[in-house]
């Protein structure tokens, strides 16, 4: 079993070509099956009158995606310089903490 490096590299190349052919065959079969699955799903959707929201498809159905930011809350407080704050969770903005330290109250900044 004395093989040379050239023999081994030749076998590797041959196997790589076989792998590429098998992957191509698998992709072709998947595409053929996919067409059948799509057709079957279309028939079921039509038969049962399903909508995208029934299937939890589309932008508004289901959960928020990881890239979608949480909706912003409406501002409840405004600083004299025009900065706003919703009064929600988390740390208070600096302008609020400084104003509270100076003796003002949150009601002084409420947007009416």
Scan for tokens 């932008």, then name that residue: 59
pLDDT in tens, 59-91: 654 555 566 666 777 888 898 888 888 888 888
58: alpha, beta or left? (left if phi > 0; alpha if psi -120 to 50)? left
Asked whether the predicted pLDDT for residue 41 surpasses 80, the reply is yes
Q: Looking at the whole model, is its pTM more than 0.85?
A: no
Scan for tokens 């299937």, then name that residue: 55
Asked whether the predicted pLDDT for residue 30 surpasses 80, the reply is yes
Mean pLDDT for all residues in the chain: 86
Q: What pLDDT, on the 0 to 100 scale, is given for residue 15?
A: 96
Longest dimension (CA), the chain: 91
């Amino acid at each position: 079993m004395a093989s040379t490096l050239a023999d081994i590299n030749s076998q590797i190349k041959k196997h790589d070509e076989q792998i590429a052919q098998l992957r191509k065959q698998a992709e072709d079969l998947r595409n053929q099956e996919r067409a059948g699955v799509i057709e079957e799903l279309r028939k079921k959707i039509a038969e049962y009158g399903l909508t995208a929201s029934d299937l939890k498809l589309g932008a508004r159905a289901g959960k928020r995606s990881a890239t979608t930011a949480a909706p912003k809350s409406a501002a409840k407080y405004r600083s004299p310089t025009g900065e706003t704050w919703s009064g929600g969770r988390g740390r208070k903005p600096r302008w609020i903490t400084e104003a509270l330290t100076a003796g003002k109250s949150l009601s002084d900044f409420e947007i009416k």
